[in-house]
Amino acid sequence: MATEGRRRALGQHFLRDSAIVQQIAERAMEEAAKHRCNALLEIGPGKGALTLPLIEILKRPSKSGDSPEIKTFLLVERDRELAKHWQEVAQEMAPKNSEISFQFQVQSSDFLDLAENLWLQSSPLAVVSNLPYSAGTAILNRLARQGEKIPVMILMFQAEVAKRLRAEPSTSSRGSLSVWIQNLWDVQKFLEVPPRAFSPPPEVNSEVVVLTRRETPQIEGTIDSSGGALWEQLLKTCFSQRRKMLRSILNARSPWHKALELSGVDPTKRAEALDWQEWRQLFKAALVR
């Protein structure tokens, strides 16, 4: 079938395990309430495995303190046919429906191409998504830069990617993505999701993680315009040759050589082995190199 082939190309694997779906939906709403979010964003709702349970939770009578005060529920769907379906649902759920106390909106677009003002209309914003494998890290990168407006995200990734996001120092999964994300966000494993929970089943396991915005970054000065760019360049360089020691990567020909000397960080270490104090020392030295 042509549409099925296109959806496979979009990296879409539709959730079908109702027990897992309900756990994700309930956790998303708990986190939204905890962080007093007034808007909810779902990226790639597909056929609505998560969307419909989320709507049902939002319809529940509100009890003080245990329900999010969601005023806007926004879906962003790349598949035109699916987006059209959700736009029709949104029309049926207009404010005239007394059961609905929130605006249900739909954007037919690739999230990575969607202008910020069209998905960051309200904040604090909670995000929930079964992310497509092909674009998961790119979508996360865009979301993670909006920490001032997004306090919490409940996201599903390919298990290998999720493992990288929460990887500890001195583990093989630790990389530049691990350090960059954990500098800004606390990452906690929530659920393991096997292939059989999807249709069509992927060839790998998936994992749901909860990302909670840190009040302040692990490393001061890494989110302003100049410091942020420097920080990302430093990470990219340090992890560019994972099997090599820092002294080989940040050698005399490297613009970061002086920073390594000034930092006091052991030059025989690899980037994946550095703890947060060592990253602080290296970044501070890089600012004055």
- What pLDDT is attached to residue 11? 53
- Under the banding of pLDDT at 50, 70 and 90, the label for residue 93 is confident
The CATH number covering residue 271 comes to: 1.10.8.100
Residue 38 has pLDDT above 60, yes or no: yes
| pLDDT per position as a tens digit, 150-190 | 999 999 999 999 999 999 999 999 999 999 999 999 999 99
Same domain, 49 and 161: yes
pTM (two decimals): 0.91
pLDDT in tens, 94-126: 755 556 778 999 999 999 999 999 999 899 999
Instruction: Tell me which residue has tokens 């987006």.
Output: 83
**139 φ/ψ angles, rounded to the nearest 5 degrees:** -65, -45
Domain that holds residue 235: 225-288
The answer to the question of residue 116 being in a domain is yes
Residue 14: its pLDDT value, please?
86
**Gyration radius (Cα) of the chain, Å:** 21
Average pLDDT for residues 244-249, to the nearest whole number? 97
- Based on the fold, state whether residues 208 and 269 are members of the same structural domain: no
The total number of structural domains that make up the chain:
2
Do 197 and 240 lie in one domain? The reply is no
What backbone torsions phi and psi does residue 101 show, to the nearest 5 degrees? Answer: -110, 15
Calculate mean pLDDT across residues 37-51: 96
Do 96 and 173 lie in a common domain?
yes
Task: For residues 86 and 57, state if they share a domain.
Answer: yes
- The answer to whether residue 218 sits within a structural domain is no
Residue 138 — very low, low, confident or very high, per pLDDT cuts 50/70/90?
very high
Q: 16: exposed, middle or buried (C-beta count within 10 Å: 0-12, 13-18, 19+)?
A: middle
197 within domain boundaries:
yes
Q: Within the chain, where are the H helices?
A: 2-9, 18-34, 51-59, 80-92, 116-119, 136-144, 159-165, 176-184, 225-238, 246-249, 257-263, 276-288
Q: In this structure, are 149 and 241 located in the same domain?
A: no
Final residue of a domain: which of 213, 248, 270? 213
Confidence band for 2, pLDDT divided at 50, 70 and 90: very low
Give the pLDDT confidence of 209-241 residue by residue, as tens digits.
999 999 999 999 999 888 999 999 999 999 999
pLDDT, mean of residues 136-155: 97
Same domain, 118 and 252: no
- CATH number of the domain bearing residue 145: 3.40.50.150
**252 in any annotated domain:** yes
* C-alpha atoms less than 13 angstroms from C-alpha of 147 in its C-beta half-sphere: 18
Within-domain flag for 229: yes
Which of 26-40, 60-74, 165-179, 218-232 comes out lowest in average pLDDT?
60-74
Query: Residue 144: inside a domain, yes or no?
Result: yes
Within a domain: 219? no
